[in-house]
Chains A and B, each alone.
Chain A
């Protein structure tokens, strides 16, 4: 049993060590498309979003929660409330350049959880801060725009076509840290119907967020 576990661990580490994908420059005719990719799939204006969340935790156990997120992309501020499906609030935090936790019930009461959650919200809903280092196409043909954040981490925004996007965030040593898939039916406002987030590495986790309600807060 132990050798299998070791093999799986090594395999997992190898996969998470995969190097940064190469970006092939766009030809003149393709430049506008790769340029559009840099705008990304981010919401316009302020929104109140309610999601049902399926969380897959280390060990494969699934947990279901409700997430209420109020986002203001222009100010890069967010309030995040996590509730049980019965409406019992287990986590409530405000992010305005720093995190203020208003309520946190075990096992959601650690600083690591709060920081990780706010980082995930940033990655999901806000355009990366920092500068564009390159744009073009991946080997698969998907348009990509690569940002470098002020802390040195790279973020790829990838247009998969048919209203589907993927965002990948890498660690400073170029290991893949997070993947976000955003799927749209046809919302022009940048509100995805389904968002899948995968945290790579150990311990990893995955979230599937299905949109229940989106209320615009700006007219």
Chain B
């Protein structure tokens, strides 16, 4: 009987402690950097929806993301087109599956792609306000809104909205607004932090 009474108290106490641990991690840039500072690696699944006014239904892609601090990234699409984007030591490479084998893609060096990939690694390092090309503000509800400073850049990306998880150092979703008619939504799931990842994952297709 005593055991039964103790159980809700333990659960409540754990809940309060967890709530206090999470409270405020996304209230300031410093809080974000501190939380990200505890992260050495990220493994997550993602679903990407491309919305455009002309589309009868959004284009849906699924894949996995691997990140290893400070700046190694593996951005892998499993469906509908299999491709892998690797960022390691400042070099971006992309491979696409064609006729059963992975072929290297020369267009990975597109300036727009380089900008986006490097921006993502900055976010995973908790540095949302470091890029001088964007203004960044924290909004209630663990939301970060980034807008380009230059009009020429705003023609490519109007706004980025990042929704942070209640779990410290975890990004829940990203919305990239390219124009009034077009935006991309990325939703992350099954996020695992600080798992040991083989270095080769960021250098080779495997």
B57 in the interface (beta carbon within 8 A): yes
- Min C-beta distance of A189 to chain B, whole Å: 16
Q: Mark B28-64, 1 if CB is under 8 A from A, else 0.
A: 0000000000000000000010101011110101000
Partner of B57 from A66, A212, A215 at Cβ < 8 Å? A215
Q: Cβ of A52 and Cβ of B81 under 8 Å apart?
A: yes
- Min C-beta distance of B101 to chain A, whole Å: 12
| Chain A contacts for B59, CB-based, 8 A | 50, 68, 87, 213
Cα–Cα, bound, A145→B136 (Å): 60
- Min C-beta distance of A109 to chain B, whole Å: 11
| Chain B contacts for A85, CB-based, 8 A | 77, 81, 83, 85, 94, 96, 105
Interface size on A, residues (CB 8 A): 33
| Chain B contacts for A55, CB-based, 8 A | 107
Interface size on B, residues (CB 8 A): 35
Question: Which of the 9-residue segments A7-15, A56-64, A115-123, A180-188 touches chain B?
Answer: A56-64
Cα–Cα, bound, A65→B96 (Å): 10
Given contacts A62-B103, A62-B105, A215-B57, contact A88 B80 (CB under 8 A): no
A16 in the interface (beta carbon within 8 A): no
Q: Cβ of A87 and Cβ of B106 under 8 Å apart?
A: no
| Chain B contacts for A92, CB-based, 8 A | 182
Partner of A86 from B54, B56, B98, B113 at Cβ < 8 Å? B113
A217 in the interface (beta carbon within 8 A): yes
Cα–Cα, bound, A131→B113 (Å): 45
| Chain B contacts for A81, CB-based, 8 A | 52, 54
Q: Cβ of A105 and Cβ of B81 under 8 Å apart?
A: no
Q: Cβ of A64 and Cβ of B105 under 8 Å apart?
A: yes
Question: What is the predominant secondary structure among interface residues of chain A facing chain B?
Answer: strand
Q: Cβ of A87 and Cβ of B48 under 8 Å apart?
A: yes
Q: Mark A36-80, 1 if CB is under 8 A from B, else 0.
A: 000000000000101010110100011111101010000000010
Given contacts A64-B96, A215-B57, contact A84 B48 (CB under 8 A): no
- Min C-beta distance of B108 to chain A, whole Å: 9
Q: Cβ of A90 and Cβ of B55 under 8 Å apart?
A: no
Q: Cβ of B116 and Cβ of A48 under 8 Å apart?
A: no
Given contacts A54-B98, A64-B83, contact A88 B105 (CB under 8 A): no
Q: Can you name the residue of chain B whose Cβ is closest to the Cβ of A90?
A: B112
Given contacts A50-B59, A213-B80, contact A88 B111 (CB under 8 A): no
Query: Most chain-B CB neighbours within 10 Å: which of A54, A66, A83, A88?
Result: A88
| Chain A contacts for B155, CB-based, 8 A | 103
A160 in the interface (beta carbon within 8 A): no
Q: Mark B101-125, 1 if CB is under 8 A from A, else 0.
A: 0011111001111001000000000
Q: Mark A185-219, 1 if CB is under 8 A from B, else 0.
A: 00000000000000000000000000011010100
B161 in the interface (beta carbon within 8 A): no
Q: Cβ of B178 and Cβ of A88 under 8 Å apart?
A: yes
Given contacts A86-B113, A87-B184, contact A64 B179 (CB under 8 A): no
| Chain A contacts for B48, CB-based, 8 A | 86-87
| Chain A contacts for B55, CB-based, 8 A | 48, 68
Q: Cβ of A212 and Cβ of B113 under 8 Å apart?
A: no
Given contacts A92-B182, A103-B178, A213-B59, 12 further A-B contacts (CB under 8 A): A50-B59, A50-B80, A63-B106, A64-B96, A64-B98, A65-B107, A68-B52, A68-B54, A85-B81, A86-B48, A86-B77, A87-B50
13 A-B residue contacts at CB 8 Å? Answer: A48-B54, A54-B103, A62-B105, A66-B81, A68-B54, A81-B54, A85-B94, A90-B110, A103-B178, A212-B81, A213-B59, A215-B56, A215-B57
The 10 A-B pairs of least Cβ separation, nearest first, read A63-B107, A61-B106, A64-B96, A87-B50, A64-B105, A85-B83, A52-B81, A87-B184, A63-B106, A212-B80
